[in-house]
């Protein structure tokens, strides 16, 4: 299949993307978080193609994207007051809300669960495509299953060229990590995946919000996570990533002591000066937004360098930094080394 390149600032290309989606095809679309791999959410056959293109396990459900709050009603059994308040505060934006699903959701989308995840993205091109398609769009991140999520059309094509009908280029993503996922299908509400909307922001609207164990910890053998995506190895480059937790001095001493060909570092901006191995920066030490924007690209760049082993500076799990930490510990298969 030849993957067509479309431009988000060309109105004719938005219409074209909408047509492809209406006809059951797959289109890579920009959102403010990461690029998504979209299909008509109400067409089970079209949605099934997403799983094939990504190599995604069929038991991992998808997020349904809408372009107006009014489209939500049809997708869920009911919208409780708490959900409405949350949506009014943070939509459109990097927040996904899970509720019991309605009958119009194909099994392919919910992967056998009784709930559905819905998101109203802020990116104007994402909303324009949903409107052009005339249907809500199911869209996981546009990477091959297990790889870091793409934050540009170019990185999406690295994984998807030849596998999907088109990619719509809308420039680099503003947030850089996937949306916050919260379920209101349980009481109290529970954070399943941290993202651009922080735990503190959720609590401001909802009061009590629990954080799912799987946000920070590996699953124990045989355990069933609330969010099926959490049981898979994720965001991993080809290199073996190890997180090094400790002060900068100790980090440098440790990494420089490991200096052999194939060893690389993933550090904060400006820290590469004292490292004796190739280094890729992933943002300023206290700039969690920048870290979120850079983290996936940094992981892909380390592969381009041919790194075999990567020692990554441990992110601070605060605010949006919690999302960065969550992605990086998964990329590292939960391998964290403590140095003093």
Give 268 or 321: the residue with its C-beta nearer to ligand TXA.
321
Say how many residues make up the chain: 340
The helix/strand/coil state of 28 is strand
Region near Mg ion per CB under 5 A, out of 135-143, 253-261, 266-274, 300-308: 135-143
Which of positions 159-198 make contact with ligand TXA (CB under 6 A)?
Answer: 178-179, 181, 192-193
Q: Does 116 bind ligand TXA (CB under 6 A)?
A: yes
- Cα(8)–Cα(29) distance, integer angstroms: 9
Judged by CB under 6 A, the residue of 98, 295, 320, 331 near ligand TXA is: 98
Give which of Mg ion, ligand TXA, none residue 250 binds (C-beta under 5 to 8 Å, depending on kind): none
Judged by CB under 6 A, the residue of 6, 27, 133, 139 near ligand TXA is: 139
- Cα(272)–Cα(222) distance, integer angstroms: 41
CB of 263 to ligand TXA, least distance (A): 30
Judged by CB under 5 A, the residue of 141, 155, 180, 201 near Mg ion is: 141
Give 87 or 98: the residue with its C-beta nearer to ligand TXA.
98
Give 56 or 127: the residue with its C-beta nearer to Mg ion.
56
DSSP 148: P
Pairing of strands 63-65, 137-138: antiparallel
Strands (E), the chain: 4-7, 27-29, 36-40, 63-65, 95-100, 115-119, 137-138, 166-169, 180-183, 190-193, 210-211, 240-245, 263-267, 279-281, 309-313, 336-338
- Cα(294)–Cα(252) distance, integer angstroms: 21
Q: Does 64 bind ligand TXA (CB under 6 A)?
A: no
- Cα(84)–Cα(190) distance, integer angstroms: 16
Give which of Mg ion, ligand TXA, none residue 36 binds (C-beta under 5 to 8 Å, depending on kind): ligand TXA
- Cα(38)–Cα(22) distance, integer angstroms: 11
Q: Does 49 bind ligand TXA (CB under 6 A)?
A: no
In 3D space, the residue among 41, 43, 45, 8 whose CA is nearest the CA of residue 127 turns out to be 8
Q: Does 31 bind ligand TXA (CB under 6 A)?
A: yes
Q: Does 115 bind ligand TXA (CB under 6 A)?
A: yes
DSSP 112: T
- Cα(107)–Cα(224) distance, integer angstroms: 19
Strands (E), 59-158: 63-65, 95-100, 115-119, 137-138
How many residues touch ligand TXA under the rule CB under 6 A: the total is 28
Region near ligand TXA per CB under 6 A, out of 66-74, 115-123, 237-245, 281-289: 115-123
Q: Does 60 bind ligand TXA (CB under 6 A)?
A: yes
Judged by CB under 6 A, the residue of 18, 36, 194, 321 near ligand TXA is: 36
Which residue is associated with the tokens 């949903």? 130
- Angle ∠(334,184,99) on CA atoms, nearest 5: 105
CB of 154 to ligand TXA, least distance (A): 16
The helix/strand/coil state of 234 is coil
CB of 138 to ligand TXA, least distance (A): 9
Region near ligand TXA per CB under 6 A, out of 68-76, 211-219, 222-230, 327-335: 222-230
Give the binding site for Mg ion (CB under 5 A): 141
Q: Which residues bind ligand TXA (CB under 6 A)?
A: 31, 33-34, 36, 60-63, 96, 98, 110, 113, 115-117, 119, 139-141, 178-179, 181, 192-193, 226-229
């Amino acid at each position: 299949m030849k993957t067509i390149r479309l431009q988000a600032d060309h109105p004719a290309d938005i219409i074209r993307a909408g047509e492809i989606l209406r006809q059951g095809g797959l289109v890579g679309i920009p959102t403010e978080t990461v690029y998504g791999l979209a299909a008509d959410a109400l067409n089970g056959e079209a949605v099934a193609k997403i799983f094939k293109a990504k190599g995604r396990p069929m038991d991992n459900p998808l997020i349904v994207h809408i372009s107006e709050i009014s489209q939500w009603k049809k997708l869920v059994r009911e919208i409780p007051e708490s959900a409405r308040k949350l949506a009014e505060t943070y939509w459109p934006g990097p927040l996904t809300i899970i509720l019991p699903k309605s009958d119009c959701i194909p099994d392919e989308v919910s992967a056998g669960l009784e709930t559905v995840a819905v998101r109203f993205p802020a990116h104007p091109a994402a909303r324009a495509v949903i409107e052009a398609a005339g249907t809500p769009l199911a869209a996981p991140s546009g990477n091959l299953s297990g790889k870091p999520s793409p934050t540009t059309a170019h990185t999406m094509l690295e994984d998807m060229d030849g596998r999907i009908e088109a990619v719509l280029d809308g420039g680099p993503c503003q947030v850089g990590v996937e949306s916050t996922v919260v379920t209101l299908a349980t009481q109290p509400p529970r954070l399943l995946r941290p993202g651009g909307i922080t735990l503190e922001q959720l609590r401001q609207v909802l009061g009590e919000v629990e954080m799912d164990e799987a946000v920070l910890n590996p699953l124990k053998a045989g355990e069933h996570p609330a969010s099926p995506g959490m049981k898979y190895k994720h965001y991993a480059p080809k290199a073996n990533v190890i997180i090094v937790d400790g002060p900068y001095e100790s980090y440098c001493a440790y990494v420089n002591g490991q200096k052999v060909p194939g060893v690389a570092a993933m550090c904060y901006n400006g820290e590469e000066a004292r490292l004796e191995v190739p280094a890729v920066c992933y943002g300023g030490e206290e700039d969690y937004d920048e870290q979120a924007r850079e983290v996936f690209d940094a992981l892909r760049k380390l592969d381009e360098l041919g790194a075999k082993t990567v020692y990554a500076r441990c992110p601070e799990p605060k605010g949006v930094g919690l999302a960065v930490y969550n992605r990086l510990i998964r990329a590292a298969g939960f391998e964290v080394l403590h140095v003093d």
